[in-house]
Amino acid sequence: MPDSNSASHRALAAQIRKMAGDRTISFVSGNFNVVHPGHLRLLNFAAECAEFLVVGVHDDSATDTFVIAELRLQGVQAIGVVDHAFLLAPETVVGLIRALEPEVVVKGKEHEARSNPEKEAIDAYGGRLIFSSGEVQFSSLDVLQREFRERNLSSIRKPTDFLVRQGIESSRLRSLVEAFAGLKVIVIGDLIIDEYVTCDPLGMSREDPTIVVTPIHTDRFVGGAGIVAAHARGLGAQVRFFSLANDDAALEFARQRLKEHGVESHFVLDGSRPTTLKQRFRAGGKTLLRVSHLRQHAIGEEQQGILRDRMIAELEDADLVIFSDFNYGCLPQPLVDEISAECARRSIRMAADSQASSQLSDISRFKNMQLITPTEHEARVSMRDSSSGLVILAESLRRQAGARNVIITMGAEGVLIQADRHGRHNMATDQLPAFNTAPKDVSGAGDSLLTCASMALSLEATIWEAAYLGSVAAACQVARIGNVPLSSSELLAELAE
């Protein structure tokens, strides 16, 4: 048997510990000829026992292997809960455990009554040897997580009649997307952290008519105005983001994720509210429950002044300012008016969205925007009009807000476009259907449309070109679960088809 303190063991152990960082390690080893549900249960269990799952796949020297080692290793590496997998000779497992000292070593329940040579080494450094084949779950984590990794672009259907009707060339659309890289965009609005808790459904409670689930995995995304900023950066622009938050774990997550996305972020701290966190509990591809952790009061005058001064200092070379308002207190009217006036003085284009799902909203308070993108409900709430036709509603809103263009989003029915093409009294109207006929998660559609369409308008695109590009962006976004930033390559690929 090789020396358990060999240099190769120490080098491999040091490499794994470096990857794990401060996280505790769970270790599993085996042949893994064909990965089956039993393996998935074991690995899911091992992943829950520590923070970093390491799997040693026995090389071809092991007995009872009938699939070559490299293929078996690839199969294990493809499993979502596995953080690191590698090949090793079966006789070196004990030596590696001595060098690595994982906090937990997991073996199947069938090994509990057998001889386990690892036990002496594990006991020596104070680790734990656990025997379990994992809990029976009706859906493996890897299957459940697939909806976050895969996009359903096959359901996107783009209308050609609109392009003909508005005289739009596909080459023009692609050139606009390519030109996004030259823009400098500022986004201001409410930061939201979106948390998706993937669950395994267990059934109905015997005590009361309640669905019972067990949480399997949690995914977090930057949402709200934060994803608008990330979309703009993903589409190629230089982006600065301004918002309000508490100095808490959610803000730390947002800072790190926005940095990874390439967004320059600036936050004014407010200890009177948590950083807004919205949780979605999902099972079987459906959202069962939403829980929001938030406060909705407006920020004080001192904080408004800080936010205003920081943002105005960055306006010098801006091409576009986007107000992304969720009505959680970041954009009180005096602040909106001051920033809007400064942008107008500098001839900087502006766009706005003001969402009203469970809160009051008035998109018309954002004056003189190049584009506003309310839902039909938000438009009717703003105009206090529940009966007028859509065209009348859109034009009334456009006039009241002093907006150049209005795109009313209507979910599965698509969008209505209302434009002041040549002057205040010469309006034009058109519509586009929803491009994605089988969306996976519609919650990010409006943010992606707002970002892409307003960026196009800042490049002198027509409202028809902007609306079409915004609809393509929304179709790509709703093809996946969670707020993952758009990329210009996604749009260009879709426009090429």
Task: Tell me the per-residue pLDDT of 398-425, one tens digit each, with 9 for 90 and over.
Answer: 999 999 999 999 988 999 999 976 544 4
Q: Residue 39 pLDDT more than 90?
A: no
What CATH superfamily is the domain 144-496?
A: Ribokinase (3.40.1190.20)
- 154 pLDDT band, cuts 50/70/90, is low
Going by C-alpha positions, the residue among 66, 78, 91 that lies closest to residue 39 is: 78
Percent of the chain with pLDDT over 70: 93
Average of per-residue pLDDT across 440-463: 93
Which pLDDT score is estimated for 41? 82
**pLDDT tens-digit profile of 281-298?**
988 778 889 999 988 888
- DSSP label of 52: E
Cα-Cα-Cα-Cα dihedral sign, residues 285, 290, 291, 292: positive
Residue the block writes with tokens 């942008």: 343
pLDDT classification of 210: cutoffs 50, 70, 90: confident
Specify whether the CB–CB gap between 485 and 452 falls below 8 A.
no
Q: Using CB atoms within 10 A of its CB, is residue 377 exposed (0-12), middle (13-18) or buried (19+)? A: middle
pLDDT of residue 1: 36
Q: How many CB atoms lie within 10 A of CB 9?
A: 21
Taking the CA atoms of the chain, what radius of gyration do you get in angstroms? 27
Q: What is the pLDDT of residues 52-95, one digit of tens each?
A: 999 999 999 988 888 899 989 998 998 889 999 999 999 999 99
pLDDT band at 366 (very low <50, low <70, confident <90, very high): very high
Task: Label residue 312 left, alpha or beta by phi (over 0 means left) and psi (-120 to 50 means alpha).
Answer: alpha
CATH topology agreement for domains 7-136 and 144-496: no
Work out whether the CA dihedral 67, 73, 77, 79 comes out positive or negative: positive
DSSP conformation class of 42: H
pLDDT digits (tens, 9 = 90+) for 238-274: 999 999 999 999 999 999 999 999 999 999 999 899 9
d(CA 451, CA 25): 41
Is the pLDDT higher at 478 or at 147?
Answer: 478
Q: Residue 422 to residues 84, 207, 319, 408, 430: CA-CA distances in angstroms?
A: 61, 65, 23, 20, 15
Token readout for 393 is 């509603």
* Per-residue pLDDT, 138: 44
Structure letter (DSSP) for residue 368: T
Q: Tokens 């309640």 — which residue?
A: 210
Superfamily of domain 7-136: HUPs (3.40.50.620)
pTM higher than 0.85: no
Q: Is 212 left (phi over 0), alpha (psi -120 to 50) or beta?
A: beta
SS3 (DSSP) at 1: coil
User: Among 91, 28, 84, which Cα is nearest to 59's?
Assistant: 91
How many Å is the maximal CA-CA distance in the chain? 89
Domain positions in the chain are 7-136, 144-496
Bridge pairing between strands 415-423 and 426-432: antiparallel
Identity at 346, one-letter amino acid code: R
Flag whether pLDDT at 497 surpasses 80: no
Q: Has residue 359 got a pLDDT over 90?
A: no
Please give the torsion angle defined by the CA atoms of residues 56, 61, 64 and 68, in that order, rounded to the nearest 10 degrees: 80
Which string of DSSP letters, residue by residue, matches 210-253? -EEEEEEEEEEEEEEHHHHHHHHHHTT-EEEEEEEE-SSHHHHH
Instruction: Give the model's pLDDT for residue 211.
Output: 85
| pLDDT, average across residues 17-33 | 94
